[in-house]
Each structure stands twice: as structure tokens, then as C-alpha cells.
Amino acid sequence: MKKLLLSVLLLFAQQALVAQADILETYIQDQLEPSRIPGVAAVVFKETGICWEGYFGMANFETETPVSDSTIFMLASVSKTLTGTAVVQLHDQGYFELDDPINDYLPFEVKVPNYPDAPITFRHLLNHLGGIRDNWNLIPYFPGDSPITLDTFLYHYLDPNGDDYSASQNFYNNAPPGQNYHYSNVGYTLLGYLVEVISGQPFNEYCNANLFDPMEMYDARWFLAETDTSRLAMPYYFAGGNFIPIGHYGYTDYPDGQLRATARDLAHFLQMLIYDGTAENGNAILSPAAVELMTPSDFSGGLTWFVDSPGPGYNSWEHDGGDQGVTTVIGFNPNDSIGIVILTNGEASLYAGGAGFWEAVWDHARSNFCEPPGATALEETPDTGQLTV
């Protein structure tokens, strides 16, 4: 009789899981048209695995390709979380200290013009405190991968002898490094170049060998030349009542935003952080101390990531991204072992006031209705035989 009761309760629990997922999926599907989003891939996982994933809309209207679990999206600034991880990995292995001056490692010097004696450190760059300004006139887009190497771009942008150097346009000169926050894409490009210099490998190859492949992020790649473009979501903007394809593009400052990956790739990445630096397959990527350094469990300090509150009194580590025809966001809570990935090939905000996907998916993730496959939603208490949810 007890087994029959348990079976009935498990059936009801499974039905509740399906019903709750249906509510979330209906909400996302209903928001695509009014929010002008072509396609969405979203994944929620808890400590023991993926508990929900959803794929909606179109990856490519022209080829009539729907979004699926194999769709590759451009990540925009979510890419910075992997660039930051590459830097922290080298720090973790003893190659440098976070408060070392970066000029100790570069073949040319980088200084804020008004404060030439104040060094820029790795920590400054990771937290957007380096005083480097994004001069968009010097950061072009290309119809494909950029032909300009990181060292060439950065030398001409940051060195006083460079062709594109501008003391007033390429730097913030009102304070020394470490004092004022200014979000800096070029700062993260410089971090990618520092990975090249210190490791002796091209940045993309370093990431492939030391991050992506060990975490089984096999579709995560920096360049179109390395990507299966047949599975790549087309970026779109909306105009005149239609979605307009932008085409696949690249830029010289690629470590700040050009990574492409599937939603499941990023789930592997977030699982590594939740598992204290060990990938799901057992490969060690970071030490537990390095993970705590990047994303402290008390949500203080940290590197690269931002603290977000997707619900009242609840925090997560978060990073979003936006580019031409791209909007993305990922996040996780290390204490609850919950992670979320949301990728789109449109330009709408994913937060409340926009599509609202971020808050809606977090609500689902935090509920008892989101359980990984094979997880027991109801357990029999050994001492009493009573059933607990």
C-alpha cells in the first residue's frame, strides 16, 4: 500500500513539474512577437544536472531553421566571463599576481596619460577600473573574422607611438587607475592579449585547449573560421514590420564579445563554477579558491561578474551581453547551485520592462517544480515512513 501511495504521489509531482514548465514555456513563446525576438535558447540546471531547457522561435528565417539544442549563438559581452576565467586560470597557476602591473608582462607600455606613474593591474582590468576608454571610431566591424591581430590593434591604440593613439579619446584621464569604474571592452581585449603573451599561445587556441575542450564546450569558439556556421543563429534587427538579417560579423577586439556557443556549452561552464572549479566530467579548470575569488559566495567583491537580484532578497552572479542582433544573459547562485543561460538572436532586453525572461526563468529555477531528470521529487523519510516533498 505504501508503494502504491508513493507511486501516486510521484505521478502527481511529475504532472506538477510538467504544468509548471508549460507555464514558463507559454510565457516565453507569447513574448517573442511583442518583444521582437526571433529565437531563444534557455537552460536551467541545478547541482545534479539540467532540470529544464527550452528552444523557441527561429535561428534563421531565410533557411527556415528553428532554434534547437544545437543552435550556436553569438554571446556578445557574456564572452567576458570566459576571458576573465582564462586570466584567473593563469593567475591560479602562479604566472602572475592580480595586483601586478600589466606593463611587467607587455612588449609595450600602457599608461593613463595624466597618471603615468600609476600602474594598471590585472585586477583593474578585470573590474573595469583600468581607465581605458572605448573609442568606437577605432573599433570597426568586419563581415567575418577581423584580419587585424590583437597585438597590432592594441599597440596602435594604446602606445603613444601607435597610429591610432589618442590620449583624450582612448583613455579616461580624470583619475588614476583603480579609482573610477568605466566599462571597458578594450580593457578586456587587453586581457585576452595578456593571456597570449603569458601563455605563448594565440588567445583563441589557449581557450580551446584549456577551457572549452576540457569542459566539453565543443561548439564554443572565438572565430567564424572555427565555427559550424550551418548551426549558427542569424543575428536580426527589427524594422518596418520585419526581421532584417545582419549577417555574421567579427571585430578586432574579439575577446570582449565575439565568442559563439550553444546554451548547453554555457551550462557546462556554469556547472564548473558551481562545482568549485571542476568540470562535470572531472577535469580541473580552476581551484576552489580561484572560483571564490571570481564569484564569492557572499556576493562581495569578485572579478568580471556582477551581482544581480532576480527576485526580492535573492542574489545571483550575472553577466549580460548585447550587440548587433544579439542579446544574452547568464547567471548562477553558488549557494543554491542553480545556473541559468538565456541566448537570443534579437535586440530586446531580457529583463523586467523588456521581455522579462530573466526574472521568469529564475522564478521557475528557484521553485520546487524544477528538478533534474532522475531526481527524486518525493522521498520516504527512513525513520517514520512519512513522505516529504
Instruction: Map out the domains of the chain as residue ranges.
Output: 2-75+206-383, 82-201
CA distance 343 to 202: 27
* Whole-angstrom distance, CA of residue 307 vs CA of residue 251: 28
Task: Tell me the three state secondary structure of residue 77.
Answer: helix
Contact 265, 279 (CB under 8 A): no
Rounded-to-integer distance, Cα 201 and Cα 7, Å: 56
Same fold, 2-75+206-383 and 82-201: yes
CA 348 to CA 24: how far, in whole Å? 18
Total count of residues recorded for the chain = 389
With 0-12 / 13-18 / 19 or more C-beta atoms within 10 angstroms meaning exposed / middle / buried, residue 105 is middle
pLDDT at 383 (0 to 100): 33
Position of cell 571585430? 251
**Per-residue pLDDT, 378:** 29
* Distance in angstroms (rounded) separating the CA atoms of residues 36 and 222: 27
Cell numbers describing residue 107:
612588449
Beta strand pairing status for 73-74 and 65-66? unpaired
Q: Angle formed by the axes of helices 79-92 and 185-199, to 10°?
A: 40
Please give the pLDDT value at position 265: 98
Residues 329, 338: contact at Cβ < 8 Å? no
pLDDT, tens only, 246-283: 999 999 999 999 999 999 999 999 999 999 999 999 99
For residue 18, the model assigns a pLDDT of: 55
CB 265 within 8 A of CB 63: no
Give Cα 120 to chain centroid, integer Å.
25
- DSSP collapsed to 3 states, 162-217: CCCCCCCCCECCCCCCCCCCCCCHHHHHHHHHHHHHHHCCCHHHHHHHHHHCCCCC
Separation CA 56–CA 39 (nearest Å): 5
Q: What's the longest Cα–Cα distance across the chain?
A: 83
Low-confidence ranges of the chain (pLDDT < 70): 1-19, 368-369, 371-389
| CA count, 13 A, side-chain hemisphere, 2 | 8
Which residues, in sequence order, are CB contacts of 221 under 8 Å at separation 6+? 204, 208, 212, 227, 259, 260, 261
Give ∠ CA 294-299-304 in degrees, rounded to 5: 35
Look up the CATH superfamily of 2-75+206-383: DD-peptidase/beta-lactamase superfamily (3.40.710.10)
Q: Which helix (H) or strand (E) holds 243?
A: strand 242-245
Fold of 82-201: Beta-lactamase (3.40.710)
